[in-house]
Amino acid sequence: MCTVLVVTGDREVRRILVAMLAEQGTTVLGADDAVEAIARVGALDKQPDLVLVDRRLARDREVELLDSIRSRASLDDVPIVLFAAPPGGSGDPDPGESLREAFDPALVLAIVKAICK
């Protein structure tokens, strides 16, 4: 079974990704930001098969997260996929654009399936 760590401070994005991946039998771990993700990765007995990182992390520390993952020899070969979905709510540059239009679930599933085969 494939394990994916999803790192995003956007609860709606995380909810959609977790539900979509869980439907496919993927074990999904979530983290709100880089600090929590670094702690989760450090506490894992088994490395994740894939890390999905939202470029808009709540604490803007995605570089620290990537450096932390890459600095661990046991995580050298773990693929990291960066994604960006437009922020939700009334502050959107384009309020009519939805997450589903900006974020292609089929592409995420294809990436996860390719990595976890």
Question: Alpha-carbon distance 113 to 106, whole Å?
Answer: 10
Contact call for residues 30 and 58 (beta carbons, < 8 A): no
As a whole number of angstroms, the distance between CA 55 and CA 58 comes to 9
Closest CA to 41 of 75, 10, 91: 75
pLDDT of residue 76: 80
CATH number at residue 58: 3.40.50.2300
pLDDT for residue 8 is more than 50: yes
Higher pLDDT, 60 or 6: 6
Task: Copy the structure tokens of residue 71.
Answer: 């600095």
Question: What is the value of pTM for the model shown?
Answer: 0.78
* Number of structural domains found in the chain: 1
Task: Give the model's confidence band at 102: pLDDT under 50 very low, under 70 low, under 90 confident, else very high.
Answer: low
Instruction: Give the structural domain span for 100.
Output: 3-116
| Amino acid code (one letter) for 61 | R
